[in-house]
Amino acid sequence: MTTLLVDAANVVGSRPDGWWRDRAGATARLLGRLAGLPGRRLPGPDGGPLECTAVVAVVEGRARDVADVDGVTVVRAPGSGDDIIVTEAQRLATDGAALVVVTADRGLRARLPGAAGLAGPGWLLEQLPPVAPDDRS
């Protein structure tokens, strides 16, 4: 039973698919795709099974005003998204939740509690349903 804590800006920015033309739209599409993960058993980043029980996505900047999505807890960073991710990771780890933080940001990874598992955007994107051709940035 694992919570995925997603650095939404980092995941959106990991693919050169035109996201920069509409950051909020790209983030909203990611959140919609993340909504299908809770309740699913996934192949974990370490190769073992991962029971996804919750998804928390941190959004920032121009994407901060995206709509909420059922199945995803959206945390809106008033400033640095990285600071909020660290705070959320510490809170979840203190609450005893099994946690995987999804980011490729090395600086952010170094700031996370030792109990947090790590995964990159590529791993997460492989777990999501494909994007419809008319639903790209």
Q: Where are the domains of the chain?
A: 2-72+95-129
Alpha-carbon span 74 to 16, nearest angstrom: 24
- Cβ-proximal residues to 60 (8 Å cutoff; 6+ apart), any chain: 8, 9, 76, 77, 79, 80, 81, 84
Q: What is the pTM of this model?
A: 0.91
- Are 86 and 111 in contact by the 8 Å Cβ rule? The answer is yes
**105: nearest Cα among 4, 11, 2, 3:** 11
Q: What pLDDT digit, counting tens, does each position of 92-111 carry? A: 998 887 999 999 999 999 99
Model pLDDT, residue 53: 96
Listed as ranges, residues in the chain with pLDDT below 70 are 131-137
Q: How far is CA 1 from CA 39, 51, 54, 76, 136, in A?
A: 9, 5, 8, 24, 31
